[in-house]
Amino acid sequence: MNRKDNVTQDEPSGPLMADVARLAGVAISTVSRALANPGRVNEKTRAKIDAAAKQLGYTPNAMARSLRVGKPNTIMIILPGSLYYGASQIIPQVLQSINKSLIKAGYNLMIANLDRDETSERYILDLAFGGTARGVIILSSKLPEVDGRSLAQAGLPVVSMLLDMSDAGTPSVVTNDRAAVRAVSRELVGLGHRRFFYLAGPEGNYHDVERYAGVVEALAEAGLGEDAVVRSGGSLDYQQGFRIGLEGVADFEALENRPTAVIATSDDMAISFMSGIRKLGLRIPEDVSVVSFDGSPVCAFCTPPLSTIEQPVEEMGQAAAALLLEAIENGPPTPASCTVVPSRLITRESMAPPALSR
């Protein structure tokens, strides 16, 4: 064996993100944020991190690092199902945000599936156990498990996004579904509304449970019982949001004492509901106010412009990527944490006081 071979074999793996964090006197997650999204770190801290990285010769090039230490530089993304092509483009927007953050840190993004049938689950697990990925981000769904083999057993850092699995030991990034809907329900009560119509997602779904609970809590605070809200839907998944909205129109029309405010758990539901309700000769917001969840850009161009709770997809994607990079560098947090990134209400012309109060 010649000298060159010895040098190559004994070459150190190089400084890690943890080394930069230690020298700069900050958390690894702060270094990760500074690399992935400098605007989220104040200038003084960013300068310290920059100086430490230069002093150590650290570069966030996971490809080069993976070649030295024999570890993959691929992050696997697990989708909840096939991509959705409606107005609510949360999953594609999240993918874009995560990809942007991971590329800046030197990692490649691999989408593992376009379905969640048994064949896809097996394939996901084969990738995870086969050493293809360095870490996993799973979107709005449970961990794959087939024949007693679970992703949790693959020995990979895993972060859940859009579904809180911190109680099960998986670090998670979510938005404040319940609090955001509670706040808009309070606002509707403050406008004078006392009868509500809720367009529901699939029964038992995490988002639907949280959002409906927000409605119920706001009504209870106002001295109104759960009988003040009528639920419609619940048997279809979010990919059928337009259909849920149209079926909701039929349920709404059949009510003897019609609600004056509609809360939809997705923009698609609200958009199709608004279209159907106008065909009944009802006006928005004069006869019924409508508000939805997701924050799709198209809501601004509805007639009238639709009030919506905007999910912070960019920030959630960045937070999930930073959490995973920290787990890769330093191990997962114990106990598992849940990062909550607040949504915000965009108020437009679809909300107004009910006709009687006007």
Tell me, what's the pLDDT at 70? 54
Structural domains of the chain in order of their starting residue, each with its CATH number: 1-60 (1.10.260.40), 177-312 (3.40.50.2300)
pLDDT in tens, 85-141: 778 888 899 999 999 999 988 899 999 999 999 999 999 999 999 888 999 999 999
Q: Is the pLDDT of residue 311 over 70?
A: yes
**Rounded average pLDDT over 286-315:** 96
Alpha carbon distance 301, 305 (integer Å): 6
Measured between alpha carbons, how far is 155 from 328 in angstroms, rounded to an integer?
11
Strand pairing category for 158-161 and 172-175: parallel
Of 327, 315, 332, 336, the closest CA to residue 17 belongs to 327
Q: CA angle, corner 341, sides to 228 and 179, nearest 5?
A: 15
Give tens-digit pLDDT for 336-356.
899 999 999 999 999 999 986
Is-contact 309 180, C-beta < 8 A?
yes
Tokens of 66: 């993976």
Helices (H) and strands (E) in the chain, counts: 12, 14
User: pLDDT per residue over 11-26, tens digit each?
Assistant: 345 677 788 889 999 9
Taking CB atoms within 8 Å and a gap of at least 24, the contacts of 328-332 are 328/134, 328/135, 328/157, 329/16, 329/17, 329/18, 329/28, 329/32, 330/18, 330/28, 331/157, 332/157, 332/158, 332/171
Instruction: Between 310 and 334, name the one with better pLDDT.
Output: 310
For 197-252, write each residue's pLDDT tens digit: 999 998 899 999 999 999 999 999 999 999 999 999 887 777 787 889 989 999 99
Question: pTM of this prediction?
Answer: 0.79
